[in-house]
Amino acid sequence: MTYPNNPYPPQQPGYGYPPQQPQPGYGGYPPQDAQPGYGYPQQPAQPGYAQPGYPQQPPAQPGFPPQGAAQPVYDYAQQPYGAAQPGYGGYSPYGAPQLPYASWGARVGAYLLDMLMFFVPAIILQVLAGTAGSDTPDCSSYYNNNTYSSTHSYSAGCTSGGLNALGIICVLLAFALFVGAVLFLVYREGTTGQTPGKKIAGIRLVRESTGQPVGFGLALGRKMLHAVDSFACYIGWLMPLWDSKRQTLADKIVNTIVVKV
């Protein structure tokens, strides 16, 4: 039988079985006819081979992707858990890094190493100026008026020995070495935070607020303020033994700390 108004031939029945009617989907909704796609001509329906006992699936709806289709993946780099987020302007969002404070023993060890390297030579020059660089004093004892008296008193006349040329040279060298050592150590502390002794001991002087070197001026002021640490039986030098930040009085005045590196 022909249908002049139908451009597509009717669906042929399966082989050996009558054609099955499509069953309604779950929920009582009747099957819907396939809608024409967009942009492509509609293909004629192909003859199906219906199986007994198995209802045909309703045709897919246009415009909705099938279930289980891969979703688009957005490539967002994930930060590892616990990693610090970058700050603005190159600064850490958490302020200065928290380094462990240097112990009192490490600070004393660094001080002794600096003394051995820079100040002991100056002390040796001072001793040399007082021995080989000075004349021998001339003392003579004589009896009062060259006569014996009941008091048996004697008087001593001594000529003190002064510094000779060698002694003067030794004193000048010792003074220059002492001043040069102080300036060098202050410069190293201000620019790098480490003197040679501190570098060997593995400690460093920094600002408490930034964790950076303090600069030459503040390092020189801190060195002079160590005189405050010597007051009251050198109590300021001993404060790192119990202070929570291991600071001396001079450190607290200029807001500096000594940390391990």
Q: Quick check: is 147 in a domain? A: yes
Amino acid at 51: Q
The pLDDT of residue 133 is 61
Q: Quick check: is 54 in a domain? A: no
The pLDDT of residue 114 is 96
d(CA 111, CA 88) in angstroms, rounded, equals 39
Q: Which two tokens stand for residue 220?
A: 């020189």
Q: Quick check: is 67 in a domain? A: no
For tokens 């380094």, what's the residue?
99
d(CA 228, CA 249) in angstroms, rounded, equals 7
Q: Quick check: is 50 in a domain? A: no
Q: Residue 109 belongs to what domain range?
A: 104-260
Q: Which two tokens stand for residue 176?
A: 């220059």
Q: Quick check: is 24 in a domain? A: no
Q: Quick check: is 240 in a domain? A: yes
Q: Quick check: is 66 in a domain? A: no
β-strand partners of 207: 256
The pLDDT of residue 37 is 46
The pLDDT of residue 24 is 52
The pLDDT of residue 97 is 57
Per-position pLDDT tens, the chain of length 261 = 555 555 555 555 545 455 555 555 454 455 555 455 454 555 555 554 444 445 555 555 555 555 555 555 555 455 555 454 544 443 344 445 578 999 999 999 999 999 999 999 999 988 888 787 666 666 655 444 455 445 555 555 555 557 778 888 888 999 999 999 999 999 999 999 999 999 999 999 999 999 999 999 999 999 999 999 998 889 999 999 999 999 999 999 999 999 999
The pLDDT of residue 2 is 52
Q: Helices then strands (H, E): number in the chain?
A: 7, 4
Structural domain total, the chain: 1
